Every structure is written in C-alpha cells, then in structure tokens.
Amino acid sequence: MKLAGPDGVIAHYLMDVDNRLGDLTVVSYTQRLQVLAQLLHNLCGVDDLEAVTVHHLRQCMQYLLSHTVSEKGRRPTLGSHLSASSVDTYVRIWKAFFNWCFQEELIETNPVARLKSPKVPEKVTPAFTSEQVEKMLATCDTRTPQGFRDYVILLLLLDTGIRMKEIVGLTIDSVNFQGSYIKVEGKGNKQREVGIYPEMSKLLWKYIQKYRKPVDSGERALFLGRRGALTDSGIQGIVKRAQARAGLEDIEVHAHVFRHTHAKVYMDQGGELLKLSRELGHSNVRVTETYLRGFRSSDARKDHNSYSPLVSIRFRDKRKKSR
C-alpha cells in the first residue's frame, strides 16, 4: 500500500483524524505526515507502508534533528536545524499514524514499537507579569468600538485561558450571563463550560449591546471586524498591536501566552489542578485523565472567580469626571 497520494494510507488516516479531532488537528497531522512520506522517499527509497522499518524511522528522525522543515504553505520543504521539541512533535504524530495502521491490521508488525522520541530539555513556559498585561490593556482606546473590543478580547484571553481557535469560535449564544460562564468548543469538537470573572461578564454584555454592530443581522460570531467574524490572524493582530504599542519588545507575545499566564496565575493563587485542567480542556492529559472522568467543567467553573487573573487587574473608569 502506497503511503502518499490521494488514495494512499496517509490520506485515509487523515480522513479518520478529521472525523475524530477536527480541522485544527488535521492540518498539523497533514503537514508532519507529508514530511514523513517525503523523508522516507528521499532518504530510504521507501514508498510503501509495509516496507517501513524502525531503522527507516530513526533515519528520518535523525535527519530532522540536524535539519528543519518549512511549515509555510501546503508542501513542506527541507532546510536547516530543528529543535528537539519540534522533532518530538513530528515523532509523536508518526507514532499515532503507525499505531493506527497496526490497529487497522494494515501491517503485521508495528515499526514504532521500539522507536524512542528525542530527549526534550525542560523549558520554562513564558507568562506575562501583571505589569506587562496592564501595559497592553492601556493601549486599547476603550472610547472607540474597536478599542473596546480589543480590550475585551485581551481580558477574555487572560481570564479564561481559552485557545485562539476557541475564542474565534465563540458566538453571542456562547455567553451565559446568568451563570457567568461561556460555552467553548475545543479540540475534537468537545464542548466545555469555562467560568468568567464578574467584571468580565459586564464587559462582554456592554460590548454586545453597545459596540458589536454586525453588517448582517444574522451574524452570530461574538467578535467582529470590519468584514465580519474575526479570524485567527485577526486575534493575533490585536495581540501584536498591543505588544508594539506597549513597547514590549524583549518578550515573546502571542495569544497562547495568555493561556500560559492564566494557568500560572490560577495555580499561584491556590487553584486546584484538576479544575484548571477541565477549564483548559485538558481532559485527555494522561497524568490527570483518571481523576477527571467524574469531574465536569460545570463543576470546575464554580471556583473560577477566586482564582481568575482579573482579580489583580485595575479596571479603568472610562467616564471622565466633570469639573
């Protein structure tokens, strides 16, 4: 059986991944499995599934440890050095593919059974300080519709720790003002409830009532730009503009750092790991999986207000005092 091509094994596997895990995951898997097929062909002269051995996979892994793969565009190209953590991501996806092939009885022996991932050095996950967050929030002109929207988005990323794809997927129906939580659709199309801080709830209500002006009355997306619903690039643009205006040139700033910051502050303020895992949508984490089975996100959100990063944020009074 051929690995690559429209009728190849990889294409059938990706179809299954798409059905189970959704668009975001299938994009990542597609790119990394394309690289695998390319490496097996170029380095090992292997194009058939049955011909792949653990030795071939070790050759591919070794190549990635000394070269990089450009992830721009649909067709990956090989180039210079990759980090061990990046290679580890590739290898984990390769293992998932061959495990699937073995379970589907497409191969008699599993070539990844003895394949070890590269050793990944421990990294300190970046997180914002309160001062850095305050600087970025201060760049939003909350007297304007766009500035108020950006202010709300930055605070919501910090308050909930939801992923960029998840905030893009929010609709006006996602917000439950009475219960002070939002319904989020995460990876694998799994829905969960995430608590929101009381002040955050007020800001969302004000944004929807006063500043959210859809061109199409049927538009349900929560956060809008000039041409409709905001996309990933739109959210990332808001974050990058806030970074530039705040003069934060010496730190890593992207939407996912808000997620890291939320987790760090939540735990620093005494939050429970199991509740945090549920709110972040980490129910598939191996270490916590058995403890999370009986714990729902609706239970986790009840203590949200005690541990939200917004506890330490000074909200601005935007109404000028009369002289």
The per-residue pLDDT for range 56-78, each reduced to its tens digit, is 999 999 998 887 665 544 344 55
As a whole number of angstroms, the distance between CA 1 and CA 3 comes to: 6
Average pLDDT rounded to a whole number, residues 250-259: 84
Residue that wins the pLDDT comparison between 13 and 319: 13
As a whole number of angstroms, the distance between CA 225 and CA 177 comes to: 23
Tokens of 287: 């270490």
- The pTM score is 0.65
As a whole number of angstroms, the distance between CA 268 and CA 93 comes to: 33
> Residue 192 pairs with which residues in a beta bridge?
184
- So where are the chain's domains? 9-103, 130-312
pLDDT at 294: 41
Pairing relation of β-strands 228-229 and 224-225? Answer: antiparallel
Q: Tell whether the model's pLDDT for residue 189 goes beyond 70.
A: yes
Conformational region of residue 138, where left means phi above 0, alpha means psi within -120 to 50, and beta covers everything else = alpha
The per-residue pLDDT for range 122-159, each reduced to its tens digit, is 666 678 889 999 999 999 999 999 999 999 999 999 99
DSSP assignment of 62-129, as one string? HHHHHS-EE-SSSS-EE-S---HHHHHHHHHHHHHHHHHHHHTTS-SS-TTTTPPPPP----PPP---
Tokens of 50: 């049955």
- The half-sphere exposure of 129 on its side-chain side, counting CA atoms within 13 A, is 5
Tokens of 323: 């002289």
Correct CATH for 130-312 of 3.40.50.720, 3.20.20.70, 3.10.310.30, 1.10.443.10: 1.10.443.10
Q: What mean pLDDT is reported for the chain?
A: 84
pLDDT at 268: 74
Q: Tell whether the model's pLDDT for residue 290 goes beyond 70.
A: no
As a whole number of angstroms, the distance between CA 223 and CA 181 comes to: 17
| pLDDT confidence band for 299 (50 / 70 / 90) | low
